[in-house]
Each structure stands twice: as C-alpha cells, then as structure tokens.
Chain A
Amino acid sequence: MKKTLFDKVWDSHVVDSIENGPQILYIDKHLIHEVTSPQAFAELEQRDIPVFRPDQIVATADHNVPTLNQHLPIKDALSRNQVEQLTQNCEKHGITLYGLGHKYQGIVHVMAPELGITQPGMTMVCGDSHTSTHGAFGTIAFGIGTSQVAQVFASQCLLLSKPKKMRINVNGKLKKGVLPKDVILYIIAKLGTNSGTGYFAEYAGDVFENMSMEGRMTVCNMSIEMGARGGMIAPDETTFEYVKGKEFAPEGEEFDKKVAYWKTLKTDEGAVFDKEYTFDAEDIAPMVTYGTNPGMGIKIDGHIPELNDVSFEKSLQYMGFEKGETLLGKPINYVFIGSCTNSRIEDFRIAADYIKGKQKAANVNALIVPGSQQVAKQIEDEGLKEVFEEAGFVLRQPGCSACLAMNDDKIPAGEYCVSTSNRNFEGRQGQGARTILASPLIAVATAVKGVIAAPYEEEKVAALAD
C-alpha cells in the first residue's frame, strides 16, 4: 500500500492497537518546560509511579523567564516557584535540564532542533501546542495536555486515534520580501483556523523544498493555528546537512546509516490524502493580521474584509480597526521580534540586514529576543548585536518573552504591537494589548518607519505616513 510520510512515521511507532479504540503510540522524545509539567509530576507522585524513561526527556525553562538579568533570582515569586519546581522535579527523576544560566537554555522549540535532539522520523511531544515546529524535520511532533504529559512520564507512550491526513502544496517562486512566515499566514488566512482540526498536515512543493530549516520550522510551528495537530515536511539534504554535527546528532557511520533510513521518509507517489490544497507561490505577498485570530490575515497592502458577523465585529472592535481599512501606514509603538516562530538566527540575520545603517523611529519600542542562548551567542559572534544596538533596538536574553504575557515583557493595554509571534488572541501579549502578526522583515520595516510598512515599497509607505 502507498503510504504518506505521516503514515510511515506513525505506523512504525504503534506499540499496539485497541479494537475499536485508540492506538498506543511510542514517543521517542519528550520535551518539558516549567508551565505544563508540575501537575503531571504531582500526578505521578500521588500514584507512586516512577518516570519510565527519564533519558528520553529533555527539560528547559522558557515561558516564565525574564529576559533581563537572568543571573539574578526571578523576581516574580510565582514564576520563580514554577521554575524551581521544574529544577527539583528534574533532579528527583533524573531528567536532563537546560535551565536558566545553562548555555543550551532557550525556547523549547528552538533549543531542541539546534542541539540535534530533533531528528527525522521521530515522534516527539511537549506540553505546548507549538511542538508542531519539529515537524520541519519529517518528525511527528505535537502538543499535548498535562494529563498526557503524565501518561508519557509513566509509559513513554500515548493513547491516540490516528489523525486524518492533509497535504498543502505550494509551488513556484516566492516574490522578493516574502518570507516563510508570510507563506504560513497566507495559508491560514485562505483555509481558516479550524481547517486542520482532526488532521496532520504535510507541506509539499518547491517552495518548501527550497526553504531553509529555519523557514520550515516557522511554517510547521504555525500548523496548530489552523487547527492541525502538526505539520511536517519530508526530510532532504537540507535537513541532513542541518542535523549533521549537532551536539546530539549521530556521528560517522551511525549518521550515514540514519540518513539512509531518513531518505525513505517521504510520501509514496500515489498515496492518498483525506484533503489536499494547492497554492501558487506568486500569489503570496507579505502578510499582516488585523483581527484576533491568526486566520484574520491580509496582504500588507490589502483591505480588511467587510463581513457581517458578530464574532468578526467583536474582533475588529477589540483591535480598533474598521471594515475596509488598510493597515499600511498605521502608527505602531511596539515591535517584537522573537517567539518560537521567529527567533532563530536566520530571522535575526534578515532583520539586521535590513536595519543596517538605519535608525528605529522615535515612537517605537523595539524588542529583539533570541530563541536560545546559542542564538544569542551567534548574534554576538556575527556582529548583529552592534547593528541592533546602533539602530536603537533593545536586545534581550532568550525566552518566550512578549509572545505571551507570562513574564515581565508585556505590551500595555490599547497599544499595537507588530509581532513575529504566532498568536494575536485578545490579551495574548498583555491585557488589552493589540497584536498584529507579521514576518521579521515587516517588523523591522515598521520599527524603522514607526508605521506599518512594506519593506520594499518604502516610498509608498512614507507618503502614507505624511
């Protein structure tokens, strides 16, 4: 039988199938962080069950961590308690922790791939919906709830029904200034936020084949924003090259053996998907969101649609936007480049390249937050730090930062923030904060102009701002 990439990885991890019920799926790697694990550890202790495979778990602290003065104790008592609890739990159960101060610490979905923990053909889970990021490697990776975290602790397995399969093809060549973030925002705007519910997505076509690993991670990261449990891309030379030489990647002969296996991980010609969509790369433009879910996106020079619907109108009211309006030229006081969607070195190279020799607008607070200690080091080693600082951007220490209002980095009520993060939900970046999702390129262009700007149509934008 012809199999899809998803089938191949899933089927090879099925321990057992229950008649008329779910399957027992084996999990290769379990990533944990401070927010969604404490209740799972407590559950285990209550039942007096040991952690079954501590060697297959990797922990980091990311959601709660401050991005300033990380060498000092965390000021917020509840945050500090949660991070300390993670440290204690990891010690007690023999789990590797890259906590604050460790050179590998970072956002869980940035840290694991850059260490080579994420490898093709694996099953990976984490109590975080953006675990879908790791699908960029041809991995079945998905977010789970805390009860499931406890299940994986207890058995290294999960009880699951196999999701349906969809394929999203994008062919052709992307236009100048169109980044992977625009590709996924475009797809979600076209398909809607629940189009993927019950499905696992595979991204196929030359756009993804030609994309860097960082770009593929950005795309897969946002699969959850269209409701899909995860998204994946078949591993290829780009993938093997990325994994090679990483801290936990196989070496020498072992690596070659793995590559031979990884090469079999692609959808067979003629394999059937439950749903399939095809888009043309030339139709994709830089995107911005105008509403309160990631599906509410338009091309940067587009207009907010004129829909008559209670939820839609409630959303515009929260954002302070009108139907039919364009966002180009809107004054913006906050810009955030970071989050598990866009905080990898490539994102900062693109940002720095644009910023070089320019100054941020006086009205803008522009925050640059690397995804991990390793990315922070790269920023420094490659001289990007100077570029950011000379242009007036604030470079912080790694963490989830202003993606979600769980640490000190919050956007004030009523303010707009052009953000490279993944969610523009009400209050996501702080109570009353208004988030506009965009690529790192639109984010820096906006920071420089002080208004929402298209990076390569500067004159047009300057005219609008006057």
Chain B
Amino acid sequence: MEKFITHTSKAIPLPIENIDTDQIIPARFLKATNKAGFGENLFRDWRYNKDGSPNASFTLNDSRYSGTILIAGDNFGCGSSREHAAWALADYGLKVIVSSYFADIFKGNALNNGLLPVQVSPEYLKELFAAVENDPETEILVNLEEQYITLKNSDKKEAFEIDAYKKLCLLNGYDDIDFLISKKDKIKDFEKELKPQT
C-alpha cells in the first residue's frame, strides 16, 4: 500500500445523501476476479445515459470539477459490503472521500485500500460544498498526520478522527495481514486454551 501523509487537491462535489455501494459500483460489474479496472464503472448508472453516452449533468462529467477528493452527502457507502466500491473509487484516482458520515464496512474497506474517509461536521460539509461549488478551483488540504482538513489558504481547520492503528498503517503503508501473521503463536495459544467454541 502507498503511504498517505498529507494530500492537497481540487475536489468534486456530490451532494447526495445515503449513497449506497450499489450506486458506487452496480452488482452487474462485480463478476471480475481481480481488483483492477473498476474505475471505469464507478457510479455507472449516474455517470452514463442508457445509450452509453456520458450524462452531462453528473458531477464526474462536469468539466468545471476535477481532482482526487470527493465531497459527498451524509451516510456515504451504506448497503452492500462489496469492497469493489472502494476499489472503484481508488481506481478512478480518488484519494480522499469527505462526508459527514460513513457506513462502517465501507470505511474499513476504504482504509484497507489507502483511500482516506474524512468525516467532518454537517456544518463544515456545507461549507466545503459551498466553497467548491462557488469556485471549482478551490483546493482542499487533508493532513493525516495532524488529523485536520482545511480549505487551502484558509485559517479555519476542522479536525477529524481516525483509529490510531489505521492511521499508523496509512502513514507507513502497512496492512493488517502482516500484523496478524506476526501474532500466529498467540492465536494458536488462544485456540488451545481459551476458545469457548469448538
């Protein structure tokens, strides 16, 4: 996994609430057996018309907006546990998703793929939407090390929470498998002595 320390970019606004993972990547695209290429079908049914032409009114097709930060409405990533949603967002080139709430499984999936979910207050989310919609050139800075997000050239910072262990993983580019394997002796001891179920 790539290291994540700070990130600065323009942002794409998507002010819709309860965006579920079926919208991020519809089920019919889950038949692949590897992780690559899902970005092509990111938000497929919102991004393209039925005839396959791009839907001009969808934010990813709006030439005013670009960047690697997505700002989304409340409760982003609810629904199916499909990690393909995180793969699609990352494959498209996104590094950060900002929302006022993330569904649990999505949050975990994103972090396991180097995609940072930044949860901000509903008020600050509104400010971010307004700033980016008002001036699409607005840059946003996300500092993982110090756990804050800010509009570049603004003094106002909003702090965000992240699990200390997950933060360490992202800062160093580690993942959980290496860590768990290093604990195998402890796991075997648990199986022998403590396990309540056989």
Contact = CB atoms under 8 A, between A and B. Distances in A.
A404 B27 contact: yes
Contacts of A376: none
A121 B196 contact: yes
A150 B109 CA distance: 12
A156 interface: yes
B152 interface: no
A16 B190 CA distance: 9
Interface string A75-91: 01011011001000000
Nearest to B20: A425
Nearest to B189: A15
Interface stretch (A97-105, A192-200, A234-242): A192-200
Contacts of B103: 194, 197, 227
Given A35-B30, A261-B196, A129 B81 contact: yes
A193 B21 CA distance: 14
Q: Is the interface of A mostly helix, strand, loop or mixed?
A: loop
Contacts of B54: none
A428 B22 contact: yes
B112 A154 contact: no
Contact of B180 (A78, A159, A309): A159
Contacts of A157: 180, 183, 187
A465 interface: no
A15 B190 contact: yes
Interface string A16-27: 101011101010
B4 interface: no
A301 interface: no
B74 A425 contact: no
Contacts of B176: 147-148, 151, 158-159
A178 B128 CA distance: 45
Given A145-B112, A148-B108, A121 B197 contact: yes
Given A145-B81, A193-B18, A405-B26, A79 B31 contact: yes
A28 B197 CA distance: 7
Contacts of B74: 194
Interface in A168-206: 193-194, 197-198
B164 A311 contact: no
Contacts of B113: 147
B147 interface: no
A293 B17 CA distance: 10
A425 B75 CA distance: 14
Interface string A417-444: 0000001011110011000000000000
A427 B112 contact: no
Interface of B: 15-18, 20, 22-23, 26-28, 30-35, 45, 50, 73-75, 78-84, 86, 101-105, 108-109, 112-113, 163-165, 168, 175-177, 179-181, 183-184, 186-187, 190-191, 194-197
14 contacts: A21-B163, A26-B187, A35-B82, A39-B33, A43-B177, A128-B80, A146-B109, A147-B109, A147-B113, A155-B180, A193-B18, A194-B101, A426-B23, A427-B22
Interface of A: 12-13, 15-16, 18, 20-22, 24, 26, 28, 35-36, 38-39, 42-43, 47, 49, 52, 63-64, 76, 78-79, 81-82, 85, 119, 121-122, 127-129, 143-148, 150-151, 154-159, 161, 163, 193-194, 197-198, 224, 227, 229, 261, 293, 309-311, 314, 404-406, 413, 423, 425-428, 431-432
Given A15-B190, A24-B186, 12 more contacts: A22-B165, A38-B34, A42-B33, A119-B197, A129-B105, A145-B105, A145-B112, A151-B177, A157-B187, A159-B165, A310-B16, A311-B16
